[in-house]
Structure 1
């Protein structure tokens, strides 16, 4: 598989994630968009690492990114649950108070 195809796929995933983050009002969908952008970065890391004949640095770095993304998703979802319990909504526009 040529490198250009894989990089185009990564760019497409990143653009889809960015579009989701910018346009969606639901906090869960914003987290999904961030995860899409992180996965696009992982696709690019693995694609560039495939063409490095010596090492596997791209795959190792992608594993670290996956680990950090899993922790980010867990913490983000916990925050969304607590915000939903307090405000009774997951809409970003309706959450405008910082004090409770």
Structure 2
């Protein structure tokens, strides 16, 4: 981990974990601390949560939709609908993903 270079040295453990497990993506809202030039040697890229979910929707939107449905079904106190879950995801910053799910 000592040899890993990132703008914020406190984030090196994230890159080290991604390398260790062979991850291709680090999902973070802190993209500026994971510049592409520092991740490229390990074939890793940083994506925002919204971009990551959009990529999953592009792969198979039915699976993402089923996950959202499963989250809604698991929320019983108080009960939540799919729209409640989508609203919460939108408030959390997944604006484009929620738009894609609502129109998809």
TM over 0.5: no
More strand by share: 2
Which TM class, normalised by the smaller chain length?
Answer: under 0.3
Instruction: Give the TM-score normalised by structure 2.
Output: 0.25
More helix by share: 1
Q: Which has the higher contact order (CA 8 A, sep 6+)?
A: 1
